[in-house]
Amino acid sequence: MKYVAVSDLYIQKEVFEECLAAYPDINYKIIHFGSDDRNTMREIFHTVERNGPKAWPAPEELYEAIEDADVLMVHTCPIPGELIRRGKKLRAILTCRGGLENIDVETATELNIPIINNPAHNSNSVAELAVGLMIDETRNISRSHMSLKQHQWREIFNNSGNIWELKRKTVGIVGFGNIGHLVAEKLNAFGCKLLVNDIRIDPEDEMLARLPIRVTDLPTLMKESDIVTLHARSEDLILSREMLSLMKPTAFFINTARAHMVDYNALYELLRDHRIMGAALEVHPTEPLPDDYPFLQLDNVTLTTHRGGDTINAFIDSPPMIMEDYQRYLAGKKPRFFANSEVGMGR
């Protein structure tokens, strides 16, 4: 079998080589996509993410290489329908990402080509950051650091007199997918009480029986949690003004998911008026931040630069993960992630 892999700034050629070399029965070719400048590459990918696989040209070399390829492995490279149609022998598309914005899923499905993606590639990275932000915000780590850098010894904070450990605190996890599961696992080690809400929750999920987790409705979670952390994946607004207003005055909000799922105007007002204790935001409606971003004026919020999934592990672990999943598919077993499962099994 011939594999064609497309490397980029994030998943380098050497990573694909190491992964594919572990399978001696396949031949492979590796093509590079995009820029090696981080800022340029970010703009390229944001263009593709917003406008689809036709928004940026794929490498010309790929159009020739795909003609006799059995499997295509990609990360950020755009894969438009015309490219997929050139792959007359193409049996599968494996993508190291969770999102599918750079792939013409409709054409692949029409041609009965399965797409195996990897939403879990950066799950642990984001889960670790979420827990880190909980500690950072509740214990004023970043604020202490900034005051010392400014030659000030600061001991009074917005939550002075109400600083507590994670132990025995209630954390509400909104969205119980890959990241939500990992956050629950990590917080259990801290001795937290865990509330979970997800519209697609599996009642047979073994973690629900193994950990002290209570599944509940969203309003109850918002009312009872000392920390609310968002890990859903949706195009819709999930945490409206009404939902955010249910939080306790001593509660904290953490967002490492997406900004559009939260009413940020309402969140700003709740923080400004001290109707909730604090927040940590990894994602923002506009990135990079505009100068007039209102959260910059608040002393009870920690801001980071949307790099939660940007770890070495998140990138180098992904090709082996999707290869393992594809081997499951070839053996007639269901992959962990199947972007167009309507194609069917056992191809």
Which residue type is seen at 136?
D
Determine the length of the chain.
Answer: 347
Cβ atoms of 253 and 134 within 8 Å: the answer is no
Residue 287 catalytic?
A: yes
Structure tokens at 191: 């001795």
Task: Report yes or no: 254 and 301 within 8 Å, Cβ to Cβ.
Answer: no
CB 187 within 8 A of CB 165: no
Helix axes 178-190, 123-139, angle to 10 degrees: 40
347 noted as active-site residue: no
Q: Which two tokens stand for residue 100?
A: 């599918």
Based on the residue annotation, tell me whether 46 is a catalytic residue of this protein.
no
Distance CA 86, CA 102 (A): 17
Hey, is 171 helix, strand or coil?
strand
What is the radius of gyration, based on Cα positions, of the chain? Answer: 22
Residue keyed to tokens 């890959």: 178
Report the alpha-carbon distance of residue 97 to residue 103 in Å, rounded.
11
In contact, 322 and 316? CB cutoff 8 Å: no
Task: Give the Cα separation of 138 and 118 in Å (integer).
Answer: 32
Rounded-to-integer distance, Cα 207 and Cα 129, Å = 21
Please state the three-class secondary structure of 190-205 as a single string.
Answer: HCCEEEEECCCCCCCC
Positive or negative, the CA dihedral 141, 147, 153, 155 is negative
User: At what angle are helices 141-149 and 123-139 packed, to 10 degrees?
Assistant: 70
Distance CA 96, CA 309 (A): 13
The residue from 75, 258, 282, 284 that is catalytic is 258
Which one of the listed residues 43, 106, 287, 324 is annotated catalytic?
287
> Of the listed 97, 121, 231, 306, which one is catalytic?
306
Which residues are catalytic, by number?
258, 287, 306
